[in-house]
Each structure stands twice: as C-alpha cells, then as structure tokens.
Amino acid sequence: MTKGGKRVAWVTGGGSGIGEAGAEALAADGWTVVVSGRRKQALDSVVAKITKAGGAAEAIPLDVSIAADVQKAADRILSRHGRIDLLVNSAGVNVPKRSWNEMELEGWNKLVEINLNGVLYCMRAVLPAMRRQQDGSIINVSSWAGRHVSKMPGPAYTTTKHAVLALTHSFNMDECVNGLRACCLMPGEVATPILELRPVVPSKEEQARMLQSEDLGRTIAFIASMPARVCINEVLISPTHNRGFIQTPQSRD
C-alpha cells in the first residue's frame, strides 16, 4: 500500500480535457492524483476542484517532451508517495497546418516530441518503480486516428497515435511477466479545447453530439479499477453520431 493507504496516479495533460476529467474521476474513486501539464494555473485549478470535492491531488508543471524533466517529476512523486500505481499519458497536441500540402517539419517534430516521445519518456520513468512493485498500470490516450487513417487529423497526428498503439502492445508483451499492464485508449471525436486548433472548428451543435471529457474520465476510472489480473489491452470508443462514418463535409476538412 502507499503511504496513507492511497493508490497513486500520475496524469499528464491533466490541466484540461481528457486528462482533467480522468484526474477528477480517479480522485472520486479514492486515488491520490498528481496532475502534470505545461500550464501551472490550469493545473492549480484542477487541484482546487478535486480537493474541494474531498479528493487528494497535487500538481507538477511539466513539458513531457523534455526527458530529464519527466524523470525529475517521477522521482518527485516517488519521493513523496513511495510508489506510482497508475500512469495516464494524456498529454497531446495537434497543429492547424496538417495536410501534406501545408505540413511543416516544425509541426511534425512538435507532434512527435509530445505525442510519442513524451509518452515513452513517462513510461520509462515509472517503469523501474512499477517493476519493483510487481504491479502497475498505464493508460495511453491515443485516438480513433490511432486505429483508422483519415484525412482530417493529418499525417503527423495519425502517425504518432498509431505509434502509441504499437508502443502499448509492445509494453504488454515484455512487462506482463512483471505484473504490469497497459491500455491504449482510442477515442473518436471528443469535445475538448484541442478542437480549436482544427482548420475548421466544429460548431457547438456538432460538439454537443461528440464524446465529452467526462465520458473519457469514466472510461479511465473503469480501466484503472480492474484487478491486477486483468489487462484491457485497448479501448476503441466513439460518439454514436460518428462523423467519420457519416462523412459530413466537416469530417473531410
């Protein structure tokens, strides 16, 4: 058990969207939650909301694309709590210029550094502690674009999210013998702030029919609640009104 009998979860991208909702749902289930992200003010707001609701949370500002800082954050959590039971890799970005015609190497590199390298850095940072515990779970937030290729997300985003799926499965192949397990969570369209970066921002009516952050929060908490003998290898989840199936003009932009 952790100090104080608590399970400890580390949630990156925890200042908004899926990460924020996951942190809140985990805290409601009794986890001690550490949220990381680049915006300290947003993290502090999430911590305040969780603690006001009676949960336990703290913030560690972090850019997951910097490997040394990721390791320092993991070491800080371990020093304070003695263990890390769950890592939720929810930090992720996209760029407006995402078609082959507009794509810039700067944008490509940014997505690889955050969406892929950042996931790997965090996994590597928690791995020694989880191996010592012979227990631990990782949830990597990928995307519907990590399973299905389409034009709208762009080549960089689609490639990194496919890579996260492969990374997750390769982790399970090696680390199952140590009692560790990872899940690749692949949501379709979710109404989060990242939508503002799209070349064509969906309307409020369209966003209301999408998955909501709290839907993914509940999903994260469910995956985390399963006993150690259970590995949910991947979850593919989408809105019932799936624009990728319907092929509206907006979904092709």
pLDDT by residue (tens digit) across 51-97?
999 999 999 999 999 999 999 999 999 999 999 999 999 999 999 99
Asked whether the predicted pLDDT for residue 249 surpasses 70, the reply is no
C-alpha dist (Å) from residue 75 to 2, 111, 124, 137, 221: 15, 25, 12, 17, 24
CB–CB of 26/86 below 8 Å?
yes
Range of the domain at 105: 3-252
Asked whether the predicted pLDDT for residue 3 surpasses 50, the reply is no
Ramachandran angles phi, psi of 229, nearest 5°: -75, -10
Amino acid at 18: I
Q: How far apart are CA 251 and CA 235, in angstroms?
A: 22
Determine how many CB atoms are found less than 10 A away from the CB of residue 8: 23
- Whether the model clears a pTM of 0.85, i.e. scores above it, the answer is yes
Q: How far apart are CA 91 and CA 160, in angstroms?
A: 12
Strands (E), 163-244: 180-187, 234-237
Q: Cα angle vertex 145, ends 144, 151, to 5°? A: 130
Asked whether the predicted pLDDT for residue 252 surpasses 60, the reply is no
C-alpha dist (Å) from residue 35 to 60, 130, 222: 6, 19, 18
Residues 228-246: what's their mean pLDDT? 95
Asked whether the predicted pLDDT for residue 131 surpasses 90, the reply is yes
Tokens of 134: 């012979």
CA atoms within 13 A on the CB side of 194: 19
What local confidence, expressed as pLDDT, does residue 247 receive?
A: 64
Residues 199-223: what's their mean pLDDT? 94
Q: What is the enclosing helix (H) or strand (E) of 70?
A: helix 67-81
Asked whether the predicted pLDDT for residue 253 surpasses 80, the reply is no
Kindly report the CATH number assigned to the domain that includes residue 219.
3.40.50.720
Angle between helix axes 213-225 and 17-28 (nearest 10 degrees) is 50
What local confidence, expressed as pLDDT, does residue 251 receive?
A: 42
How close are the terminal C-alpha atoms of the chain, in Å? 49
Ramachandran angles phi, psi of 88, nearest 5°: -115, 110
- Residue 121 appears among annotated catalytic residues: no
Q: Exposed, middle or buried, 141 (CB in 10 Å: 0-12/13-18/19+)?
A: buried
For the segment 156-171, what is each residue's pLDDT rounded down to a tens digit?
999 999 999 999 999 9
Number of domains comprising the chain = 1
Q: How far apart are CA 175 and CA 181, in angstroms?
A: 7
Tokens of 85: 């039971």
Tokens of 135: 């227990």
Residues 161-187: what's their mean pLDDT? 98
Active-site residue (options: 31, 108, 121, 157): 157
Tokens of 207: 């966003």
